[in-house]
Amino acid sequence: MSCSICLRVIVLGLLACGSGGARAQELPTDAAPAPSEPSTPALPAAPSAPKAPDTVEGSRPLLTSALPGAEPPALGSPSLAVGSDGTVLAVFAAADEIYGVLSRDGGEHFGPPQRIGSAGRLESGPVRGPRAAITPDVLVVAAICGETLQGQDGNLLIWRSEDRGLNWKGPLRVNDTLNAAREGLFALAASPEGELVATWLDLRTGQTELWGAWSSDGGRSWSRNVPFYASPDGSICECCPPAVRFDPSRPGEAVVLWRNALGGNRDMYTLVVSRDGTPAVGAARRLDSRHWELQGCPVSGGDVAISSEGLSLYIWRREGDLFTAAPGLGEVRLGAGREVAAVSGPQGFHLAWTDGGGGVFTALSRSLGGGLSSRALGHGLNVSLAGAPDGLGPVLAAWETGEGGPDSLRHALLAPRSDTTDP
């Protein structure tokens, strides 16, 4: 059964998993530890976070006015994109329509909601929904839409604005095999130079695989679809969203992160991909220091943040806990949690997550070897982080309370625009 169907019957916040199953097999060569970078002391564990209040100072509603209509639809699945010029685009689902709000001053103030588009039914909800990216010339919004969804159909579609959000064009289909993106899970990223990469869970072969595509013209056209990874056991994890981030220090290269299904385990894997070549299967590397033996899907992906110098920090969930790691460094437990997000920005690496009690938290790691300072943002789910592709900020967080009304979409400015990435 498709996990698009599973999500509709999961009680929100419940761990959708069960342990047990066959004893894990020895992993093949693609399960080696992540490649090393210059040695740095390991990250210390984050301090225990207090219970999150409903709202905190600095947390504000994302919308300044309600959507038009006598009975506005329920709102959810917020996601952010930040441009190097201070433009911030927040997109969200309003039933089956995509809406957005724009900030021209680095996230200090947002304008009224604007309809971006629709194309049948819209995938949204936990770990699903529209995503955005900002290049120097274009605003780009991506979403998976279909006539029925529920794992029966679904395509990755793109809308574009060439006038900084005044008008929108689209949709344009990215997946070149019809309905190959019907699982509804994908990620989108922009490079400092304006290149785009999308990656998604693809079902064109009958198995769940990780595929991707590139655009060098702001999403106007896309490359042929490329298979990034196929599990030797058949399918990767069917219900966990992938992540992708460009490496600013290596133009044309991006890092993808996904949950694999291999040898009875649901471990996180990472891979460097480039527009000029198809990645070799043996290039994939496992992040987890130990296996998560699991017969089921936890509906929880991970994220990666990459600094302008090419240093990377990963965050993900294993069992009921969250972990961080960097190439060449040890794995560090942060504490209990579910959803995660990470981005590089002024002062260091910014992290966000939800805990088991519905709290939304953020933390700042000023360096890979430095300490973490964490604080509560409020209560909710679908937490999102975004920063400018050049790493200079601003950095913002967004999430939803789950209530569906205009005040249910929240945001916080974590770091303003800076002229340096130094702490």
343-372 as b/e, with b when 16 or more CB fall inside 10 Å?
Answer: bbbbbbbbbbbbbeebbbbbbbbebbebeb
- pLDDT for 23 equals 21
Site of tokens 């200079």: 392
Q: Report, as an integer, the average pLDDT of 46-53.
A: 48
Number of CB atoms found within 10 A of residue 41's CB: 11
Q: Are 374 and 49 in contact (CB under 8 A)?
A: yes
Rounded to the nearest integer, the mean pLDDT of the chain is: 86
Domain ranges of the chain: 75-415
pLDDT band at 66 (very low <50, low <70, confident <90, very high): confident
- How far is 82 from 85, CA to CA, in rounded Å? 8
The 8-class DSSP code of residue 37 comes to: -
Task: Determine what percent of the chain is predicted with pLDDT higher than 90.
Answer: 73
What are phi and psi for residue 8, nearest 5 degrees? -75, -10
Q: Report, as an integer, the average pLDDT of 290-295.
A: 94
Strand partners, 256: 244, 271
Q: Report, as an integer, the average pLDDT of 191-207.
A: 97
Say whether pTM exceeds 0.85: yes
Q: Per-residue pLDDT for 306 more than 90?
A: yes
DSSP codes of every residue in 222-287: -PPPEEEE--TTS---TTS--EEEE-TTSTTEEEEEEE--BTTB--EEEEEEETTBPPPGGG-EE-
75-415 belongs to CATH 2.130.10.10: yes
Cα separation of the two ends of the chain:
47
The 8-class DSSP code of residue 72 comes to: P
How distant, in Å, are the alpha carbons of 111, 170, 188, 347 from that of 119? 24, 10, 19, 40
pLDDT tens figures, 90-147 = 999 999 999 999 999 999 999 999 999 999 999 999 999 999 999 999 999 999 999 9
Please name the residues in contact with 350: beta carbons below 8 A apart, sequence gap of 6 or more: 305, 342, 343, 344, 362, 363, 364, 385, 387, 395, 397, 414, 415
- pLDDT for 320 equals 93
